[in-house]
């Protein structure tokens, strides 16, 4: 077949790089255009396969890198017309587009509205877990079967509007079923990509993007936002300059504002008086810079000018923003202050009660001692020939005994408390001696001490207050006849299983265990339920109902515990577990 050119064009001269006369003297075999041999052979094979076709097209890349669309058209006379179209720019654009699609992980699609045929890229395989054949054969009905039933109408609405010419493009989010059964969220964008000669849409093309991770993050953010909105704690976010960026509804209500947005753009210090704001800045900001967080309290201003007590927790973010979580603690602080005031009143009343109890117990023995003093100092003894030196010795000894009896109550009125190392056996002996003052002659008081000394760092007066209160309560509860109060001290690490812990917690490791038992009638369940309740007493006008609540507080703050074992008709036993080390820091002191 003769490939010689009989006709040419100016564009052909440019493509071939030679004049038309020279083109006439050349054909494909002798270098009309420079085509790689392998492409030339492939082109010939494809042409022979399709030799019956009137028009044959093939895209070829020349040796200089340019791309051409080669078209061979048969004429009525039996000759052929060869046309070359430079498609290098088109190819470059297609490559760039493919790189964008690949980088964006976009699934592309095109639908021929006339035939219903679709063309999808390989991203569909990755996105939905489909095999290649399933993607090749996927048509509109197959796509619709993959869409979540709740999303079908919304997913195809935009496509249908483009198909009937009422819209040029659409965008929609919907769910598609993965081959493994779960649903993935996709963002679909598409539009009319080709028209018929009459202007009607011929093709619709678009992309799908997997937005499942974005949807998950949106759901998490929505949940967090709902939690922040619903919480009763106020939440504020400020920028690095201290300007409020966000407040939740609880914060706005706390400060007397109806709309949280009304605080946006305000400086944080506008929520406080100048003095409080300066104090917060001086205390909180250095801690934020050093540690990234700070907690404390402040008095804040409401929109109506009122104030409230506020507990704050500040956290600094890496970009300089500060998150503030705050609570209105006005009511809570008022309760705490009221309790502290009541406790002070209870302590004052208890000190007075102890003085009264000790004074009542001492009256009898002091009277006897003073009678001895009076006897030996009676002037009539001299007339009777009594030896005065011996009388003076007796007077001195008796007076000394009276002074020692007053020793336990000497510091009650001073309000002074000291901790010191003491032998707990000595304190128990001293408490037993005081219990014997004014006791009935039918009451037996016994003391059982450990063979080894039990030394501890204690506040002697606090421990004495605990032992005396429990002992005196037992003594007052005993009836007539032969009765007994037994006091004991030992080093232990457990208490009897038959005893119930009423106050505090058992200390760790070995501790001193005081046991105060009586042979009374026991404590009724009704009284036991209210035993530690302030102002509850079974002594009528003779009692204050403050003794047990006060010693309960002493034992708690010391880190010890009180346990109780009682049965009707079978007496009562209190166990006091006292730690052998005194707390390094006391929140407050009695007295």
Could you read off the pLDDT of 104-151 as tens digits, one per residue? 678 888 899 988 888 888 888 888 888 888 877 788 888 889 999 999
State whether 311 and 429 are in the same domain: no
More confident site: 403 or 557? 557
- Separation of alpha carbons 513 and 355, rounded Å: 26
Q: What is the pLDDT of residue 19?
A: 54
Structural element, H or E, at residue 227: helix 212-230
Percent of the residues in the chain that have a pLDDT greater than 90, as a whole number: 30
512 forms beta bridges with 491, 578
State whether 171 and 298 are in the same domain: no
State whether 264 and 398 are in the same domain: no
Q: What is the pLDDT of residue 588?
A: 35
What is the CATH number for 187? 3.30.450.20
Closest by alpha carbon to 251, among 233, 239, 276?
233
- Separation of alpha carbons 241 and 238, rounded Å: 8
Q: φ, ψ for residue 445 (rounded to 5)? A: -115, 120
State whether 378 and 502 are in the same domain: yes
Mean pLDDT of 351-377: 57
pLDDT over 90 (residue 573): yes
pLDDT over 90 (residue 166): yes
Helix crossing, 424-436 with 330-376: angle to 10°? 70
Q: What is the pLDDT of residue 45?
A: 80
Cα-based torsion angle of the residue sequence 385, 386, 388, 392 in order, rounded to the nearest 10 degrees? -160
Q: How confident is the model at residue 478 (pLDDT cuts 50, 70, 90)?
A: confident
pLDDT over 80 (residue 514): yes
Task: Tally the domains of the chain.
Answer: 4
State whether 242 and 385 are in the same domain: no
Q: What is the pLDDT of residue 1?
A: 34
What is the CATH number for 489? 3.30.565.10
Q: How confident is the model at residue 322 (pLDDT cuts 50, 70, 90)?
A: very high
pLDDT over 90 (residue 549): no
Mean pLDDT of 333-356: 73
Residue 533 lies inside a defined structural domain of this protein: yes
Closest by alpha carbon to 412, among 462, 375, 369, 473?
462
- Separation of alpha carbons 202 and 211, rounded Å: 29
Residue 222 lies inside a defined structural domain of this protein: no
- Separation of alpha carbons 540 and 533, rounded Å: 15
When mean pLDDT is compared across 358-372, 419-433, 515-529, the lowest value belongs to 358-372
Tell me which of 188, 216, 244 is where a domain ends.
216
State whether 50 and 166 are in the same domain: no
State whether 351 and 320 are in the same domain: no
Q: What domain range includes position 444?
A: 340-578
Q: What is the pLDDT of residue 517?
A: 94
pLDDT over 90 (residue 371): no
Tell me which of 276, 302, 328 is where a domain ends.
328
Q: Is 504 left (phi over 0), alpha (psi -120 to 50) or beta?
A: left
SS3 of 517, please? strand
- Overall pTM > 0.85: no
- Separation of alpha carbons 108 and 130, rounded Å: 15
When mean pLDDT is compared across 35-39, 328-332, 443-447, the lowest value belongs to 35-39
When mean pLDDT is compared across 57-66, 136-145, 313-322, 451-460, the lowest value belongs to 57-66
562 forms beta bridges with 503, 576
Residue 73 lies inside a defined structural domain of this protein: yes
When mean pLDDT is compared across 64-68, 192-196, 524-528, 547-551, the lowest value belongs to 64-68
């Amino acid at each position: 077949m003769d490939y010689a050119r009989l006709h040419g064009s100016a564009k052909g001269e440019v493509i071939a790089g030679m004049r038309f006369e020279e083109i006439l003297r050349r054909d494909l075999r002798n270098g009309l255009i420079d085509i790689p041999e392998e492409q030339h052979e492939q082109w010939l094979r494809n042409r022979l396969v399709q030799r019956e076709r009137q028009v044959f097209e093939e895209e070829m890349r020349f040796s200089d890198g340019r791309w051409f669309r080669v078209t061979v058209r048969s004429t009525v006379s039996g000759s052929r017309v060869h046309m070359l179209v430079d498609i290098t720019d088109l190819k470059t654009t297609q490559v760039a587009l493919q790189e964008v699609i690949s980088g964006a992980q976009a699934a592309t699609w095109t639908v021929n509205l006339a035939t219903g045929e679709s063309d999808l890229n390989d991203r569909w395989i990755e996105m939905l877990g489909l095999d290649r054949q399933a993607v090749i054969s996927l048509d509109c009905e197959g796509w619709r079967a993959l869409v979540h039933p709740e999303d079908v109408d919304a997913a195809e609405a935009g496509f249908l509007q483009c198909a009937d010419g009422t819209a040029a493009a659409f965008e929609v989010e919907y769910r598609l079923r993965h081959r493994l059964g779960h649903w993935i969220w996709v963002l679909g964008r598409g539009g009319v990509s080709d028209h018929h000669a009459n202007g009607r849409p011929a093709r619709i093309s678009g992309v799908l993007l997997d937005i499942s991770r974005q949807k998950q993050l949106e759901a998490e953010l929505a949940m967090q936002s709902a939690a922040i909105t619903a919480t009763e704690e106020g939440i504020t976010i400020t920028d690095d300059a201290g300007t409020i960026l966000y407040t939740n509804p609880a914060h706005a209500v706390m400060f007397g504002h109806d709309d949280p947005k009304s605080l946006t753009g305000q400086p944080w210090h506008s929520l406080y008086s100048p003095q409080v704001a300066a104090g917060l800045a001086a205390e909180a900001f250095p801690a934020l810079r050093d540690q990234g967080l700070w907690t404390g309290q402040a008095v804040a201003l409401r929109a109506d000018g009122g104030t409230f007590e506020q507990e704050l927790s500040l956290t600094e973010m890496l970009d300089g923003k500060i998150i503030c979580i705050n609570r209105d603690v006005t009511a809570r602080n008022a309760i705490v202050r009221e309790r502290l005031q009541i406790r002070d009143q209870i302590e004052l009343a208890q000190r007075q009660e102890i003085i009264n109890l000790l004074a009542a117990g001492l009256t009898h023995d002091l009277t006897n001692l003073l009678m001895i003093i009076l006897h030996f100092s009676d002037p009539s003894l001299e007339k009777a020939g009594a030896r005065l030196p011996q009388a003076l010795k007796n007077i001195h000894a008796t007076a000394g005994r009276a002074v020692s009896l007053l020793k336990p109550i000497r510091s009650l009125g001073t309000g002074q408390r000291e901790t010191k190392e003491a032998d707990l056996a000595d304190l128990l002996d001293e408490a037993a001696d005081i219990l014997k003052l004014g006791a009935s002659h039918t009451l037996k008081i016994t003391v059982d001490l450990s063979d080894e000394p039990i030394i501890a760092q204690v506040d002697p007066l606090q421990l004495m207050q605990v032992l005396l209160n429990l002992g005196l309560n037992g003594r007052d509860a005993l009836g007539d006849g032969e009765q007994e109060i037994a006091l004991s001290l030992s080093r232990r690490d457990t208490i009897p299983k038959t005893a119930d812990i009423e106050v505090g917690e058992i200390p760790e490791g070995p501790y001193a265990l005081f046991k105060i038992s009586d042979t009374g009638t026991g404590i009724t369940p009704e009284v036991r339920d209210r035993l530690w309740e302030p102002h509850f007493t079974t002594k009528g006008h003779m009692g204050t109902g403050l003794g047990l609540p006060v010693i309960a507080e002493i034992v708690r703050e010391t880190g010890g515990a009180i346990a109780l074992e009682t049965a009707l008709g079978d007496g009562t036993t209190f166990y006091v577990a006292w730690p052998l080390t005194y707390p390094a820091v006391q929140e407050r002191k009695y007295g």
